[in-house]
Structure 1
Amino acid sequence: MREPICVFNYKIKVIIAISLFIAQLISAHASVKVNIIIEQPEHHLAKVELQFDKSNIEQVNFYLPTWRTGRYKTLNLANGIRDFIAKDSQGNVLSWRKIDKHTWQVSGSKNKKIHLSYQVYANQLAQRTRHIDDSHAFLDSSAVVMYTEASRSLPHTVQLFVPKLWRSFSGLESGNNSHQFIATNYDQLVDSPIETGINEHHEFRVDSRLYQLVIWGEGNYDSVKMVEDIKVLVKQSKHIWQGYPFKRYVFMVHATSGARGATEHVNSTIIQRSRFKFSTRKDYLSFIAVVAHEFVHTWNVKQYRPHGLVPYDYQQENYSNLLWLVEGSTSYLQYQLLLRGNLMTTDEFFSALAKRITAYMHKPGQASQTVAQASFDAWISEGGDYGNNHSVNIYAEGFLASWLLDFDILNKTDLSKSYRNVHNQLYQQHRLPQSYKEADVLKILKQVTGSNYQVWWQDNIHGTAKIDFSLLLAKAGLAMSYAKTGEDKSSKQTKVWTGLNTKYGTQGLVISSVEQDSPAWHAGLTTEDVIVAVDGLRIVDKDLVNRLKDFKAEQTIEFTYFRRDKLTTTKVKLSAIAKNKLKIIVIAKASQQQKLFFKAWTGLDLPEKTPE
């Protein structure tokens, strides 16, 4: 007798439910095991072994990312992979083929556990992707560990096999030994680099949170001062965000040669500096500013991130109009930490602000590209002469957009709210795995200020902002000045200007950039021209600047130069710019409102006069 259909269907549902439960149970215990074996560090080599659980498909694609988090550029991360081998758990070799530059396709994998092994060549120190030598290894897993669509969500256990006396550190949780780390998934793995080798290590607690400072390399740094200042710095985040997204944070520092820059990660950062760029006040201030920048990123981008970057797509570009808010706002907010922690003086802040204003004034690209466009095009952005004349920068112009927004919020709320409140609300309302769009930022701006920011946004983010720096600074009791302290007011206040920059190389005095609409631009000079003479006399000692002191503004002079090895000449009508560098000064007799504005902006009292 046949079973009733309802009973049959019920049994099928039970079988399906049991099967799903078993699959979930298996999946819950599934993981990826990663062995990284460093036996030839002097040759920059490592062997990587990966063990994946059973595959349920006949062909599996194994990927290595085409970019790493924190740098919005596609990179050739797969170029160091050799000796790729795929086997099953019985040791049988599986066939494979490479289907594009970063994808290895393994066949015959159904119902088999897959074991991969390959060699990694790691000599990309300045890229902050992978570097191995006889003293250490820095491993960003984006450039080391492959993944599949199925394995991305699985836990990863990384076991390092490294030379004796090496010590290993990461923002990842430690495993069964000092060289083992555990990631909850692939995304956490690639956002938690590993530093292993001969290093200096400091560990300290601030407000019940554990911090580690790991330094590789030798230089003129003072690690004791670093620790003391970081202790102060990390406390200042309370002025922006309510709450911490971590219990442990690792600061990794490379004191080295031929590499500079930094990259933020989910609960760690890697900072690279020239080994002798720590001891002077100028150099140390630059270092601690980078530390502040990367620490701000712990919230801004690592906890709340624009739509288009959530979740990360590691195999192609991730587009957003809001990268200026990711990077430029971080550059802006870093000063909030430095100033409120008294790690930077007001005079040093004024100097940094003056440099940013000067750069903007000599950035013709700000009339050609909006900061939203620069965000979208960050993946293909160009620096140098073209970038300056025809583009803007998500860091520099993103900083200025943040500054404009901050002052507008302060104005609209009678100093009760600021841009810091916007970032705290992004953290509270749009924490990962959520993302935020422009509409979400505008909504938060209205919540914070009670005002509609649609027109402001269109003018300054999707339009080319017109910044009146004098008006902006005056709100906080500040002004711009080109005069030196104690300088005779009757002395000459300008110098001649051509609008070109040069560098001395094997070819001679080579033009490296020409500012658009400058005298040199109108004279037809361009990059790679080799200047040999001015008014018929050879440039001596590579010094064009001193030679130009012999002339006056509005005077026309002759440049002799090589272009494509052909000697030619052109006439340049000189112009004038301020002789001295721009300074930000405190105005005389600042009003009480200006003093309150400065306090609300920086957290500090406005100085009675400009610090000497």
Structure 2
Amino acid sequence: MSEFTRVFNYKIKLIIAISLFFTQLISANASVEVNISVEQPEHHLANVELKFEQVNESKVNFYLPTWRTGRYETLNLANGIREFIAQDSQGNVLSWHKIDKNTWQVSDAKNKKITLTYQVYANQLAKRTRHIDDSHAFLDSSAVVMYSQASRSSEHIVQLSVPKLWKSFSGLESGNNSHQFIAHDYDQLVDSPIESGINEHYQFSVDNRQYELVIWGEGNYDSAKMVKDLQILVKQSKHVWQGYPFKRYVFMVHATSGARGATEHVNSTIIQRSRFKFSTRKDYLSFIAVAAHEFVHTWNVKQYRPKGIVPYDYQQENYSNLLWLVEGSTSYLQYQLLLRGNLMTTDEFFTALAKRITAHAHKPGKESQSVAQASFDAWISEGGDYGNNHSVNIYSEGFLASWLLDFDILAKTALSKSYRNAHNQLYQQHRLPKGYDEQDVLSILEQITGDDYQVWWQKNIQGTTKINFNRLLAKAGLKMSYAKNVKDKSSEQSKVWTGLKTKLDNHDLIVSSVEKNSPAWDAGLTTEDVIVAIDGLRLLDNELDNRLKDFKPKQTITVTYFRRDKLITSRLKLAAIPKNKLKIIPIAKASVEQKAFFKAWMGVDFPEKK
């Protein structure tokens, strides 16, 4: 072979290689067209058309996720897909078959541009996945839009066709019209829900960031107050993080019936509440606390999250021992924003804190499961009786773990640093796509305090530990109290306790839970027992609590109940618990040091005892 031929062949191969590289690059960055048509909203139906650029495999799999971000639970997201069709760019129908519950495999696809069409049934409002009716469409794309492995990194252009009077909103960038949105890739698309319909819309600007409030549904809310308080709320992030991860953020609110809860997203949140749970102070405080929680998530989990969930794997569970830090810390930090913005009073915070301490006291599962174990098992967590007696919750116990850690940091740094600094460092050092693990958290704690946290972590995070709340509260000049209400003229300081919780079903008093090691537990009662008598006298409907008022702690009573339709009688020795609810109150003569600790902790002045 001559030198000319060798050089010529080399140049040809180089040209082919460069051409192939740019072809793959263009394919990887090509847009996916997503057309969603809502033509029969009253029947909860939408038609979806997806147009993909040329694929390089003879067979290509298209997936719908098995879970959605913000909810660590596998869901039946593919159960609403019908009338699936795959075609090439010439309109020729391509063969396909399902290979599992949420994977559609299209054959004879090589070198073809593929169009998928299918129908979606959207009637999962409470799951915050997809819901369409004659007034709106809420679309979380994880429950609507399929993807292939090759298209996951592609830009997605979403075009909605909706009833004439509907208005569409999303945290995504807007396109060429009011019903078009653009996502950088599939991950952003499924983390940016769309709300379209008859809604209220408000805009405001804070610190050169644009915010929107979109409300669907009617209720007793005060939208002007919501806007005003959200403006205050978003300003408070500066007390935790340096910098913003967004230019624009959307608060979506559903005032509805039969659905409650909220989900964080990368540039927005969806908050669902009963339509008449806004007007009282208690209800409104609950709403603004949820808004604070979801806003904290904009940093904590949407910008920095554990390596076990980086990147998201939408086809299976994503495991981590640090979900308590994702959720529990968010529950903890929400109060930093609320108090510093004067959206919550110190007394209201003390009430919320007392509820958490009381719940912990009646959570036997804290002796069986650590917060690290609860994090890993979040995907299979159980609620109800078993969950309370044998497990812990990443939200509530994660809150307490965060509190312990915050106080430890404050004490070790002479109040110069706090848990807020740890979260800011996670944001600065481990922003996506990096992720973090336990060792990274320990390293940050050592950077902040100069101390090794291995032993502390082993005891409080990986192990189960008893919390001395009196000692903890005393550092901030606070204490626990069961003082009686001034209206209560009784001299009794305690009341009888059984450990039973019951529910009324068609006049049957059914045991719904039994606290482990309680009097009822020791007496052998269990869930689904039907209580019919105390000391041989019949109970009528739900009068158990009133009947128990006739007895004193340490007395023994007989409880008669049906189990499997068989009548059983057990002896139950009553115990005592404080008669009044737990309160957190300032101590009478708090020291200068205690007041300074409180100020460093919550960012507001110590509340002097009245």
In 2 relative to 1, CA 436–25 (structure 1 residues): closer, same or farther, beyond 3 Å?
closer
Cα deviation code 1:455-491 (max 9, x no counterpart): 0000000000220000000000000000125478981
Cα deviation code 1:168-188 (max 9, x no counterpart): 000001111100101010000
What is aligned with 1:224? Answer: 224
- Pairwise CA distance, 1:19: 1.7
Q: Does 1:120 align with 2:124?
A: no
What is aligned with 2:590? Answer: 590
The 1-side partners of 2:55 and 2:27 are apart by 11
The 2-side partners of 1:146 and 1:157 are apart by 13
Any idea what SS the aligned residue of 1:458 has?
A: helix
Q: Which amino acid aligns with 2:168?
A: S
In 2 relative to 1, CA 83–595 (structure 1 residues): closer, same or farther, beyond 3 Å?
same
Q: Does 1:141 align with 2:133?
A: no
The 1-side partners of 2:373 and 2:217 are apart by 39
What is aligned with 1:579? Answer: 579
Q: Does 1:215 align with 2:243?
A: no
- Pairwise CA distance, 1:2: 3.1
After alignment, is 567-576 or 517-526 more displaced? 567-576
Q: Does 1:427 align with 2:422?
A: no
In 2 relative to 1, CA 256–489 (structure 1 residues): closer, same or farther, beyond 3 Å?
closer
In 2 relative to 1, CA 582–90 (structure 1 residues): closer, same or farther, beyond 3 Å?
same
The 1-side partners of 2:28 and 2:362 are apart by 57
The 2-side partners of 1:28 and 1:94 are apart by 22
The 2-side partners of 1:485 and 1:532 are apart by 33
The 2-side partners of 1:484 and 1:586 are apart by 16
What is aligned with 1:130? Answer: 130
Any idea what SS the aligned residue of 1:99 has?
A: strand
What is aligned with 2:346? Answer: 346
Q: Which amino acid aligns with 1:35?
A: N
TM-score (norm 2): 0.98
The 2-side partners of 1:363 and 1:340 are apart by 30
What is aligned with 1:393? Answer: 393
Q: Which amino acid aligns with 1:121?
A: Y
After alignment, is 438-447 or 499-508 more displaced? 499-508
Contact 2:504 2:541 in 1 (8 A): no
The 2-side partners of 1:528 and 1:365 are apart by 21
- Pairwise CA distance, 1:21: 4.4
- Pairwise CA distance, 1:542: 1.1
Contact 1:64 1:78 in 2 (8 A): yes
The 1-side partners of 2:30 and 2:339 are apart by 48
What is aligned with 1:248? Answer: 248
Q: How does 1:518-597 map to 2 (within 5 A)?
A: 518-597=518-597
Q: Which amino acid aligns with 1:237?
A: S
Q: Which amino acid aligns with 1:182?
A: I
Q: Does 1:609 align with 2:597?
A: no
TM-score (norm 1): 0.98
Any idea what SS the aligned residue of 1:532 has?
A: strand
What is aligned with 1:307? Answer: 307
The 2-side partners of 1:195 and 1:488 are apart by 50
The 1-side partners of 2:311 and 2:353 are apart by 35
In 2 relative to 1, CA 369–390 (structure 1 residues): closer, same or farther, beyond 3 Å?
same
Q: Does 1:60 align with 2:60?
A: yes
Cα deviation code 1:381-430 (max 9, x no counterpart): 00000000000000000000000000000000000000000000000000
Q: Which amino acid aligns with 2:102?
A: H
Q: How does 1:85-164 map to 2 (within 5 A)?
A: 85-164=85-164
Any idea what SS the aligned residue of 1:153 has?
A: coil
- Pairwise CA distance, 1:17: 4.0
Any idea what SS the aligned residue of 2:600 has?
A: helix
In 2 relative to 1, CA 415–82 (structure 1 residues): closer, same or farther, beyond 3 Å?
same
What is aligned with 2:203? Answer: 203
- Pairwise CA distance, 1:506: 2.7
The 1-side partners of 2:358 and 2:261 are apart by 23
What is aligned with 1:81? Answer: 81
The 1-side partners of 2:12 and 2:516 are apart by 74
Q: Which amino acid aligns with 2:506?
A: T
Q: Which amino acid aligns with 2:410?
A: L
Q: How does 1:286-297 map to 2 (within 5 A)?
A: 286-297=286-297
- Pairwise CA distance, 1:6: 6.0
What is aligned with 2:469? Answer: 469
Q: Does 1:165 align with 2:169?
A: no
The 1-side partners of 2:127 and 2:144 are apart by 13
What is aligned with 2:323? Answer: 323
Any idea what SS the aligned residue of 1:38 has?
A: strand
The 2-side partners of 1:575 and 1:71 are apart by 39
Contact 2:240 2:424 in 1 (8 A): yes
- Pairwise CA distance, 1:290: 0.1
Q: Which amino acid aligns with 2:83?
A: D
In 2 relative to 1, CA 82–489 (structure 1 residues): closer, same or farther, beyond 3 Å?
same
Q: Which amino acid aligns with 1:214?
A: V
- Pairwise CA distance, 1:25: 5.3
Any idea what SS the aligned residue of 2:463 has?
A: coil
Cα deviation code 1:35-59 (max 9, x no counterpart): 1110100000001111011111100
- Pairwise CA distance, 1:20: 3.7
- Pairwise CA distance, 1:540: 2.4
In 2 relative to 1, CA 549–489 (structure 1 residues): closer, same or farther, beyond 3 Å?
closer
Cα deviation code 1:246-303 (max 9, x no counterpart): 1110000000000000000001000000000000000000000000000000000000
Ranges in structure 1 where 5+ consecutive residues have no aligned partner: none
Contact 2:374 2:394 in 1 (8 A): yes
Any idea what SS the aligned residue of 2:299 has?
A: coil
The 2-side partners of 1:420 and 1:375 are apart by 21
What is aligned with 1:273? Answer: 273
Any idea what SS the aligned residue of 1:324 has?
A: helix
What is aligned with 1:35? Answer: 35
Q: How does 1:333-412 map to 2 (within 5 A)?
A: 333-412=333-412
Contact 1:60 1:109 in 2 (8 A): yes
Cα deviation code 1:528-569 (max 9, x no counterpart): 111111111121241211110001111111111111122221
What is aligned with 2:460? Answer: 460
In 2 relative to 1, CA 5–528 (structure 1 residues): closer, same or farther, beyond 3 Å?
farther
- Pairwise CA distance, 1:326: 0.1
Ranges in structure 2 where 5+ consecutive residues have no aligned partner: none
Q: Which amino acid aligns with 2:607?
A: P
Q: Does 1:493 align with 2:493?
A: yes
Q: Which amino acid aligns with 1:517?
A: N
Contact 1:160 1:179 in 2 (8 A): yes
Contact 2:504 2:510 in 1 (8 A): yes
Contact 1:507 1:530 in 2 (8 A): no
Contact 2:508 2:541 in 1 (8 A): no
Contact 2:27 2:54 in 1 (8 A): no
Any idea what SS the aligned residue of 1:375 has?
A: helix
The 2-side partners of 1:323 and 1:496 are apart by 37
- Pairwise CA distance, 1:24: 4.7
The 1-side partners of 2:12 and 2:442 are apart by 51
Q: Which amino acid aligns with 1:101?
A: K
Contact 1:519 1:574 in 2 (8 A): yes
- Pairwise CA distance, 1:592: 0.3
Cα deviation code 1:544-600 (max 9, x no counterpart): 111100011111111111111222211111111000000001001100000000000
The 2-side partners of 1:367 and 1:576 are apart by 21
- Pairwise CA distance, 1:66: 0.1
Q: Which amino acid aligns with 2:116?
A: L
Q: Which amino acid aligns with 1:549?
A: K
Contact 1:80 1:122 in 2 (8 A): yes
Contact 2:480 2:585 in 1 (8 A): yes
Provide the aligned length of Structure 1 versus Structure 2.
610
